Amino acid sequence: MSRCIAIINGGGDCPGLNGVIRGVVRSAILQHGWRVLGIEDGFDGLIDEPHFRELDLDAVQGILPRGGTILGTSNRGNPFSYPVREADGTVVVQDISQQVVTNFKGLGADALVVVGGDGTLAIARRLNDLGVPMVGVPKTIDNDLQGTDLTFGYNTAVGIVTEALDRLVTTAESHHRVMVVEVMGRDAGWIALEAGLAGSAGGILLPEIPFDIELVCQHIHQRREAGSRFNIVVVSEGAYPKNGDKIVQATAEETHGLVRLGGIGHYVAQQIADREGLETRVVVLGHVQRGGTPSPFDRILASRFGVQAVEMLAQGQYGQMVALRGREMVAVPIDEAVAEQNLIDPAGNLAWTAEQLGIMLGR
Ligand code: F6P
């Protein structure tokens, strides 16, 4: 049966998104003879006047190495709580999900591939119940989605941070400084821990292990006493001190989306400078971690996810998310995948390995 399917991505961009789009388009066309529509700018593309375009083989040619997403994205357009500006300028939050369902049906597509993190996939799951048959693809550099061993984009982000750490070591060493490197990850410390391990950081502070600033300073002090005159401390943006709170740049109400974290790197650096009298510098890697070309690993994972999503549509496995388990592609219920976050186990092997290597985790 010839079908028309659509693909949409939501949330922040992520290296590998174009690989998923290409995988969906190529397998849908080459293996099934289906048409594929690309919805632009996340769920914003299904609000008011729908914006979308046909994706044929030419449209996805050469996009595998390209970062970002050819479709554009948005991390503010939750149709179940959508900020609408009234005539008097006030912003009210409305449920406009029916408009999204109607607009989707108006496209003439019979199913949707949704590529996103937990927020986007939770929205998609609810749309599935409202009559938009969909399958999900897990996307985020944070690697915080349950149900899949890995999300695409994460490997690239770890590579970018590791390269930055390698570069920072040489300048920290030359100036005998403490470099505090703040990295992304929201509530999950995967990027900090794995890149910190790969980049031989002296300390790594994670959202999963509230840190004791006294121990952080003690560790730096001891390293200096032992003859090491520089130090690299990787701080996840969601890390926070014992008896303290996460540092927030903007609340969920202010962003009409997710809390924006940031600033903990400066706090840690200031504490080290004040308590130890050392010269510190802070590097906030920010969106560099999401930019640029995906790693070969992520290109392959993204391609596998895209192809598998089409296979799941062919088999009518709606409401499910494609996932990597070991070396295999499997389908997992989206409800399961978004029920809780995939976080670092403070008592698990990765944290243990770091500490066995002498890396300070602030506890
Ligand atoms: O979830 C991915 C992520 O990059 C987080 O690591 C980070 O906190 C957030 O998105 C940044 O979002 P924005 O692009 O809205 O600043």
Per the annotation, the verdict on 166 as an active-site residue is no
- 238 with 349, same domain: the answer is yes
Q: Which of 144, 154, 259, 260 to mutate to test the pocket of ligand 1 (most atoms within 8 A of CB)?
A: 260
Query: Could you tell me if residue 334 is inside a domain?
Result: no
- 242 with 285, same domain: the answer is yes
pLDDT computed for residue 113 by the predictor:
98
- 169 with 198, same domain: the answer is yes
Burial 31-66 (b: 16+ CB within 10 A, else e): ebebbbbbbbbbbbbbbeebbbeebeeeebeebbeb
Q: State in Å: Cα 81 to ligand 1 middle.
A: 19
pLDDT computed for residue 255 by the predictor:
86
Closest to 6 measured CA to CA, from 53, 44, 47, 60: 53
Give the CATH number of the domain where residue 92 resides: 3.40.50.450
- 136 with 189, same domain: the answer is no
Residues sharing a CB contact under 8 Å with residue 296, sequence separation 6 or more, in sequence order: none
- 44 with 122, same domain: the answer is yes
- 65 with 198, same domain: the answer is no
Cβ neighbours, 10 Å, residue 261 = 22
**Ligand 1, closest atom to CA 289?**
4
Q: How many domains does the chain have?
A: 2
**Ligand 1, closest atom to CA 186?**
8
**Ligand 1, closest atom to CA 117?**
1
- 109 with 50, same domain: the answer is yes
Q: State in Å: Cα 12 to ligand 1 middle.
A: 6
Q: State in Å: Cα 88 to ligand 1 middle.
A: 31
- 286 with 246, same domain: the answer is yes
Query: Could you tell me if residue 361 is inside a domain?
Result: no
Query: Could you tell me if residue 50 is inside a domain?
Result: yes
Protein residue closest via CA to atom 8 of ligand 1:
186
Q: Which of 69, 141, 145, 182 to mutate to test the pocket of ligand 1 (most atoms within 8 A of CB)?
A: 141
Catalytic residue among 13, 44, 142, 187: 142
pLDDT computed for residue 1 by the predictor:
67
Paired residues of 152 in beta bridges = 139
Q: State in Å: Cα 200 to ligand 1 middle.
A: 25
Q: State in Å: Cα 23 to ligand 1 middle.
A: 25
pLDDT computed for residue 258 by the predictor:
87
- 224 with 316, same domain: the answer is no
Query: Could you tell me if residue 336 is inside a domain?
Result: no
CA distance 42 to 7: 10
Q: Which of 184, 338, 342 to mutate to test the pocket of ligand 1 (most atoms within 8 A of CB)?
A: 184
- 61 with 175, same domain: the answer is no
pLDDT computed for residue 104 by the predictor:
97
Q: State in Å: Cα 219 to ligand 1 middle.
A: 30
Query: Could you tell me if residue 53 is inside a domain?
Result: yes
Query: Could you tell me if residue 362 is inside a domain?
Result: no
Cβ neighbours, 10 Å, residue 153 = 31
Residue pLDDT tens, the chain, 363 long: 679 999 999 999 999 999 999 999 999 999 999 999 999 999 999 998 999 999 999 999 999 999 999 999 998 879 999 988 899 989 899 999 999 999 999 999 999 999 999 999 999 999 999 999 999 999 999 999 999 999 999 999 999 999 999 999 999 999 999 999 999 999 999 999 999 999 999 999 999 999 999 999 999 999 999 999 899 999 999 999 999 999 999 998 888 888 999 999 999 999 999 999 999 999 999 999 999 999 999 999 999 999 999 999 999 999 999 999 999 999 999 999 999 999 999 999 999 999 999 999 999
Query: Could you tell me if residue 333 is inside a domain?
Result: no
Query: Could you tell me if residue 283 is inside a domain?
Result: yes
Closest to 119 measured CA to CA, from 36, 186, 194: 186
Cβ neighbours, 10 Å, residue 357 = 9
Cβ neighbours, 10 Å, residue 115 = 33
Sequence length of the chain is 363
Q: Which structural domain range is residue 181 located in?
A: 156-291+345-356
CA distance 283 to 161: 11
- Structure-token match 């006294």, residue found: 214
Pocket of ligand 1 (CB under 6 A): 12, 75, 117, 140-142, 184-186, 237, 260-261, 290
pLDDT computed for residue 12 by the predictor:
94
- 201 with 136, same domain: the answer is no
- 201 with 249, same domain: the answer is yes
Give the CATH number of the domain where residue 259 resides: 3.40.50.460
